[in-house]
Chains A and B, each alone.
Chain A
Amino acid sequence: MAENENKSRRNFLGILGALGLGWIGALVYPIFRYLSPQKVPDPFGEDGLALVENINPADVARPGMGKNGGYGGRGLIVFRNKSNKLKAFDSKCTHAGCNVEFQGDKIYCNCHGGTYDLNGKNIAGPPPKPLTELGVEEKDGALYVFRMVNDKAEGA
C-alpha cells in the first residue's frame, strides 16, 4: 500500500518534471529566437548588383583617386589604379573589423596599422587574410558592385 503510494508519487513527480521542462522550453525558445539576430538581406539584387552609396563616378575618375563608401549597409572602398582599372573592396579589415582607407599606394587600417596592397593582399600588420574584393561597374551615372566569382582575393 505504502509502496504503491510512493510509486504513484514518483510517477506524478516525473510527469510534473516533464511538464516543467516543457513549460520552461516553451518560454525560453521564443525568447531565444527573439534575441537571435535576424537574417541580413543579401545586398546584391536579382541582377547581382548592389548600388554604391557615397561614391560617385567622378570621385574615382582618374587613376590614383579613391573613396570610402558603402553598399547594402556595409563599408566599401573604390579606387582607380594606375592601369586605369576600377577596383572595389569590402572595407572591413580582416583583423578586427575597422574600416580600411585607400592611401594611393596602399590600403591602410588606422586601428592597428594593418596594410594591404592595391590587390587587397595583406602585406603588413596584423590582418590574417586579404580583403574581400568586389567587382565594380558604372551604369547610368552610378557605381554598382557585384560579387566576384572564383575570386582569389576571397581568401579562406
Chain B
Amino acid sequence: MDKYEIPPDAESRLPSNDKVTGRAARFLLGRYKIWPIISHLLDKTVPHYRHSYWYNMGGILLFLFSVQVITGILLMIYYRPAEPWLSVQRIVMEVPFGNIIRSVHHWSANLMVLTIFLHMFSTFFMKAYRPPREFTWLTGLGLAALTLLFGFSGYLLPWDDLSFFATRVGISEIDKAPFIGGWLGDLARGGPDVTLDTIGRFYVLHVTVLPLLILGLISAHLLFIQIQGMSETDSFTALPPEKKKYSKFFSDYLFGEIPVWLALSALLIALAAAFPRELMPEADPFASAPEGIKPEWYFLSQFQLLKLFPGSIELLGLVILGLVPLSFLVLPFIDRSIPADSRGRVILKLGIVAVLGLTAFTIWGWLS
C-alpha cells in the first residue's frame, strides 16, 4: 500500500515512538497528508506586549458561544413553542437547575454581545482590519450581526408581556423601512401581528437557521486568522527584532487562557445565581402594554437615536442608522496599511466618536 512518508521535519518534532501519543501521531500522519497544516498551526505565535490581552477577546467569544450551545440544547428539551410561556415557567419553577441554566443562557448571551463590541473595537483601534485582513473583518461583522439576531429572536421566546411588546415595537421599526419594509415585517411576524406564528418563526431561526449560519461564519473567520496569523499593531511591527516577543499559541498561549475560562464560568454562575432572569406575566395580546418597555441594552442606542426622528422624518433616522454598519463594511477598503497614514488618523478619530456616541446613546436610552 502506498503509505505516506512522515516528513523528516515531522519526525524531528513528534514525540518518540515509545510513547502512545507518538505512535498515534505517526498512525494518523501516515494516512492523512496533513503535516503542512499541523506544522503551520504549531508555529502559530501571538505577539506578546502591553496590548496582548485584547487578543483574548476571540477566545472568550468562542467560550461563551460554547456555553450558549450547551445551555441552549438543554433549554430546548423542555421548551415548547406551542405553549412558550408555560414551558419556560416550568423550566424556571419545576425543572431542577432550570432557573440557573436559563439565567446562564441569558447572561452568557449578554456577555457575548458585550465582548463582541470589545473585540470589534479593539480590532478597530489596533487597525487589524486593514489589508490583507479584509475578509476576517467582514466575517467578523457578519458574526456580530448574527449575534444581534440571536439576541432579538431569543428575546421573544419566553412569551412574557415584556418580550411580546418589545418584539412588536422592534418589528414595527422593520415595517418603516422603505419599499420592502412592510413585506419583511409581515414575513418576520408571519402576519400583521405578533402571534404564536411569530414564535414558530423566531424559534426555528434561533435554534437552527442562525446556528448553522454562525458555525459556517465562525469557521471562515478562524480559517482566515490561522492562514494569515495574528495581526500586529504598527508600533509592535516597528520594534527592532530583538525587542519583539511572541508566545507560542500551542500551548503556552492556550494554557494561559484556561484561567480566563474558569473565571468566566464562575462569573456566569454567580450572575445567574444573584440575578436570575425574570419571567414576567404571560403575554396578553389584548392587554395594554406594561410600563417600562425597553429593548435589550444592546439595542438601546439605535432605539434612542430613532426617538430623535419622530413621525415624518423617521426615515431619516433609519438612514443614519443604516450608515453605521455600512461604514464598518467599507472600512478595510478605505484605510491603507501605511503606519501614521493621514487617512488612517481621520478614521481613528471617527472611531473614537463612534464609541463615545454609542456609549452616550446607550446610557441616555437607559436613563430615559
Contacts and interface: CB of A to CB of B under 8 A. Distances in A.
A96 B286 contact: no
B307 A112 contact: yes
Contact of B288 (A37, A68, A112, A126): A68
B115 interface: no
Most buried by B among A36, A53, A99, A126: A99
Interface residues of B, number: 28
A4 to B, nearest CB: 44
Interface stretch (A12-20, A73-81, A133-141): A73-81
B193 A73 contact: yes
B289 A110 contact: yes
Given A37-B189, A112-B307, A73 B288 contact: no
B208 to A, nearest CB: 14
Interface string B303-327: 0000100111000000000000000
A69 interface: yes
B356 interface: no
A97 B168 CA distance: 6
Given A126-B310, A128-B312, A37 B190 contact: yes
A31 B191 CA distance: 16
A98 interface: yes
A97 to B, nearest CB: 4
A53 B286 contact: yes
B157 to A, nearest CB: 19
A52 B112 CA distance: 45
Contact of A37 (B169, B171, B172, B191): B191
Contact of A99 (B190, B289, B312): B289
Chain A: interface residue count, which band?
20 to 34
Interface in A79-128: 91, 93, 95-101, 109-112, 126, 128
A70 B285 CA distance: 8
B282 interface: no
B9 interface: no
B190 A111 contact: no
A99 B287 contact: yes
A97 B187 contact: no
Interface in B167-205: 168-169, 171-173, 186-187, 189-193, 195, 197
A113 to B, nearest CB: 10
B168 A96 contact: yes
B187 A54 contact: no
Given A37-B189, A73-B195, A128 B311 contact: yes
A44 B190 CA distance: 21
Contacts of A110: 288-293
Given A35-B187, A75-B286, A110-B288, A96 B169 contact: yes
Nearest to B168: A97
A120 B171 CA distance: 24
B173 A96 contact: yes
A98 B187 contact: no
Interface of A: 35-38, 40, 53-54, 68-70, 73-77, 91, 93, 95-101, 109-112, 126, 128
A-B pairs, top 4 by smallest CB distance, nearest first, are: A101-B288, A70-B286, A98-B289, A37-B191
